[in-house]
């Protein structure tokens, strides 16, 4: 069984794709869709090898998933040098729980507000996952009919060294 995940894209590419949508539609969706769950999967060595990401010794690989009340899920893979963490991964991602219950607009604003305290790696990770989520909150996705990417949680549970959810 394979994982189907979003393509690796930059925040700039994501922002450019949002320019094609009507501004009022984007603003309405961002102001009404609320975040209901945040999950972080730390890949185990077997999955790291399957995905050919590296050896996983000096780098922590994983996936951040942000779910909304509409069923849309924004995901972002990450690779964090283990030396840059001053704590464990649970403590490192726990700061993201503050955006739970916020709308997408409020979440993006909160991320901007906390960028100095969070640092560039955390800020970029959460912003990228939120941008992916914004892309998936088009009206067809709100009915959960045409999700382009599927988050296969069962597969990730089997190949995760750790799992964090709030």
Q: How confident is the model at residue 63 (pLDDT cuts 50, 70, 90)?
A: very high
Q: How far, in Å, CA of 128 to CA of 50, rounded?
A: 24
pTM for this model (two decimals): 0.75
Helix axes 120-135, 11-18, angle to 10 degrees: 30
Buried b (16+ CB within 10 A) or exposed e, 59-75: bbbbbbbbbbebebbbb
| Maximal CA-CA distance, the chain | 46
Q: Which two tokens stand for residue 129?
A: 């996952």
Where is average pLDDT lowest: 7-16, 64-73, 135-144?
Answer: 7-16
Tens-place pLDDT, residues 103-160: 998 999 999 999 999 989 899 999 999 998 888 875 544 444 433 334 688 888 888 9
Write the secondary structure of 67-128 as one string of H (helix), E (strand) and C (coil): EECCCCEEEEEEEEEHHHCCCCHHHHHHHHHHHCCCEHHHHHHHHHHCHHHHCHHHHHHHHH
């Amino acid at each position: 069984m394979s994982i189907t995940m979003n393509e690796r894209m930059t925040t700039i590419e994501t922002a450019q794709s949002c320019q094609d949508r009507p501004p009022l539609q984007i603003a309405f969706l961002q102001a009404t869709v609320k975040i209901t769950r945040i999950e972080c999967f730390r890949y185990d060595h077997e999955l790291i090898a399957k995905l050919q990401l590296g050896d996983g010794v000096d780098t922590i690989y994983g996936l951040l998933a942000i779910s909304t009340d509409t069923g849309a899920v924004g995901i972002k893979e990450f690779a964090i040098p283990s030396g840059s963490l001053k704590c464990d991964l649970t403590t490192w991602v726990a700061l993201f729980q503050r955006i739970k219950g916020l709308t997408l607009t409020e979440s993006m604003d909160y991320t901007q507000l906390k960028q100095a305290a969070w640092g560039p790696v955390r800020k970029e990770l959460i912003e990228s996952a939120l941008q992916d989520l914004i892309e998936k909150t088009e009206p067809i996705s709100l009915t959960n009919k045409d999700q382009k990417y599927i988050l296969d949680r069962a597969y990730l549970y089997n190949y995760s060294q750790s799992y964090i959810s709030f």
